[in-house]
Amino acid sequence: DQQVKQNSPSLSVQEGRISILNCDYTNSMFDYFLWYKKYPAEGPTFLISISSIKDKNEDGRFTVFLNKSAKHLSLHIVPSQPGDSAVYFCAALEGSTLGRLYFGRGTQLTVWP
Amino acid sequence: EAGVAQSPRYKIIEKRQSVAFWCNPISGHATLYWYQQILGQGPKLLIQFQNNGVVDDSQLPKDRFSAERLKGVDSTLKIQPAKLEDSAVYLCASSFEGRNTEAFFGQGTRLTVV
């Protein structure tokens, strides 16, 4: 049973525009959320995170928004760059930072010039 | 700082054969994870070690998968016998004292079972 869902397998955006990647979850016990970025033939690398007590976290071009009532989070990349082309995984933690990570299926982002 | 090292990078075996993967975590990281990533899916935790003890192996298919972390550093993951559905990328990750928010992943081993 997929507790973290990324319903868009792919997204294509022009360079300079905003990329919005979406993620939904079903487990209300999740209290920490992370986004990972993965290039081909490499392992996932941590990008940005947000605690459930916040509704927004920003780091440079990357912003994550959390809507707890809707059990939805999104990653905004502004402006998008060709080097951002990768698979983005949404992940969630239950209970604490020591809990198990649950991953979504990922969204392939392609940023074209 | 050296990252998480895994070997081999690729492995092709026939079904019913056995295979082993090796992982060397980041120095000083007490927690080590093995994840399975099937094509088109996100990584799924198979087993988590804290030093050389198992913290979580609830999703490890114990009839065919085994893992050990002798001396609390390197780890090996074994599959015996392999099935076609075991074809996946096996990712090793490590973190300092179990903080999943600070886990670093290796490049993975791509296993193809034919």
CB contact under 8 A, A41 and B107: yes
Q: Which of B44, B48, B108 sits opposite A43 (nearest CB)?
A: B108
Using CA atoms, how far apart are residues B8 and A8, in angstroms rounded to an integer? 32
Contact B57, B46 (CB under 8 A): yes
Say whether A46 and B102 touch across the interface (CB within 8 A): yes
User: β-strands B19-24, B44-50: how paired?
Assistant: unpaired
Q: Is B50 on the interface with A (CB under 8 A)?
A: no
pLDDT at res. B102: 81
Q: Are strands A107-112 and A10-14 parallel, antiparallel or unpaired?
A: parallel
B78-111 pLDDT, tens digit each: 999 999 999 999 999 999 877 777 889 999 999 9
**How far is the C-alpha of A113 from the C-alpha of B19, rounded, in Å?**
43
Q: What is the pLDDT of residues A24-83, one digit of tens each?
A: 999 998 989 999 999 998 999 999 999 999 999 999 999 999 999 999 999 999 999 999
Residues A75, A34: Cα–Cα separation, whole Å: 10
Model pLDDT, residue B72: 84
B44 touches chain A (CB under 8 A): yes
